[in-house]
């Protein structure tokens, strides 16, 4: 029995995650789901967005399907995602960017950099330390090299011409790539961001530091229709969490207009992780057929609602199983 923790989170997470859960249940009726509540809504009611006991419960699952969470600009609020990533040591954030003429995977170091959590405030300034360790750089480079071995080549996104911490990152990544026999080039992140948007065919697997990967993958969503299309995986040695890249979008929450593709594709990544690539492919193909039938949510120029799009995918999945 495969145990999957389901966290709807906040905002449109309550709409897109049930769709993804239904798709998972359709292709893998043996999955045992259990619900976990975290997020801003919980914090408003109880003063705690995510406890250590809750994270321990998440860590007991074979995989976690995670929705969007709201992070308010409140000094008393600790980011739920950063807390989970750090506690479960989900060091690799994997974001595939796939669409017509585009097939790129952005691998982002997920526990260090400017999201390391080393921060403090003073009367006239606020400080955040950018942490780039050799150990952290080695393991994210190895993860990226493992992906690149079955593809074409690796690009190291960096700003080593300005940041000394990136000199360590680039040196570590290029050494790991040479050790793995993976063709590797290093590109400054600003030039890389522009070139990726102009010439996505030049890129394959991109590895970079935490905040650079966050920004680069969001910008790359432009290539495939927006943030509503992008899934992601947060991978550690003992735990794995799968979530759409988009945020909680409170402005459209509850209106049945959110795009569930990113959540469904995150579920497909979850299926691959638990050793079922055939079902993952079936889900991806079902999404593709629905889009080709011109059933689309408003962000993609269509009129289908979140639930209606999900129902169409479920029909396609059912036909694929027949």
Domains of the chain as residue ranges with CATH: 1-90+236-322 (3.40.718.10), 97-225 (3.40.718.10)
What is the pLDDT confidence band of residue 17, given thresholds at 50, 70 and 90?
very high
The whole-number average pLDDT for the span 101-110 is 97
184-235: pLDDT as tens digits: 999 999 999 999 999 999 999 999 999 999 999 999 999 999 999 999 999 9
Contact 153, 185 (CB under 8 A): yes
Residue 105 in 3-state DSSP? strand
304-313: pLDDT as tens digits: 999 999 999 9
Which burial class, exposed, middle or buried, applies to 45 when counting CB atoms under 10 A from its CB (0-12, 13-18, 19+)? exposed
The catalytic residue among 115, 143, 204, 276 is 115
pLDDT at 5 over 80: yes
Q: Specify whether 115 is catalytic.
A: yes
The catalytic residue among 10, 40, 91, 159 is 159
Q: What is the largest CA-CA distance in the chain?
A: 66
Tokens 């690149």 belong to residue: 148
What is the pLDDT confidence band of residue 113, given thresholds at 50, 70 and 90?
very high
What pTM, to 2 d.p., does this model score?
A: 0.94
Nearest CA-CA partner of 79 in 105, 115, 33 = 115
Q: Specify whether 251 is catalytic.
A: no
Tokens 């997470």 belong to residue: 13
Residue 121 in 3-state DSSP? strand
Q: Specify whether 171 is catalytic.
A: no
The whole-number average pLDDT for the span 251-277 is 97
pLDDT of residue 309: 98
Q: Specify whether 222 is catalytic.
A: no
pLDDT at 4 over 60: yes
What residues does 233 pair with on adjacent strands? Answer: 94, 242
Q: Specify whether 62 is catalytic.
A: no
N residues, the chain: 322
């Amino acid at each position: 029995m495969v145990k999957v923790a389901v966290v709807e989170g906040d905002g449109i997470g309550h709409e897109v995650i049930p769709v993804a859960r239904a798709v998972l249940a359709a292709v893998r009726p043996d999955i045992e789901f259990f619900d976990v509540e975290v997020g801003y809504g919980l914090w408003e009611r109880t003063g705690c967005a995510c406890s250590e006991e809750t994270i321990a419960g998440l860590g007991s699952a074979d995989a976690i399907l995670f929705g969007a969470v709201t992070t308010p600009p409140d000094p008393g609020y600790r980011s739920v995602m950063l807390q989970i990533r750090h506690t479960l040591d989900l060091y690799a954030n994997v974001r595939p960017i796939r669409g017509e003429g585009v097939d790129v995977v952005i691998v982002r170091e997920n526990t260090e950099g400017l999201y390391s959590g080393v921060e403090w405030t003073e009367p006239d300034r606020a400080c955040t330390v950018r942490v780039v360790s050799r150990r952290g750089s080695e393991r994210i480079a190895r993860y990226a090299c493992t992906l690149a071995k079955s593809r074409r080549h690796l690009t190291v996104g960096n700003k080593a011409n300005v940041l000394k911490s990136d000199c360590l990152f680039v040196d570590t990544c290029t050494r790991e790539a040479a050790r793995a026999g993976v063709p590797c080039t290093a590109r400054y992140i600003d030039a890389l961001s522009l070139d990726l948007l102009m010439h996505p065919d030049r890129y394959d697997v991109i590895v970079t530091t935490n905040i650079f990967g966050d920004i680069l993958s969001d910008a790359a969503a432009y290539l495939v229709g927006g943030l509503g299309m992008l899934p992601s995986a947060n991978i550690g040695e003992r735990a794995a969490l799968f979530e759409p890249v988009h945020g909680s979008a409170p402005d459209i929450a509850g209106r049945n207009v959110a795009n569930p593709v990113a959540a469904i594709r995150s579920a497909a990544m979850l299926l691959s992780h638990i050793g079922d690539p055939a079902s993952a492919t079936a889900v991806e193909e079902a999404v593709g057929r629905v889009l080709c039938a011109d059933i689309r949510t408003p962000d993609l120029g269509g009129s289908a609602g979140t639930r209606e799009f999900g129902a169409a995918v479920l029909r396609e999945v059912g036909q694929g199983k027949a």
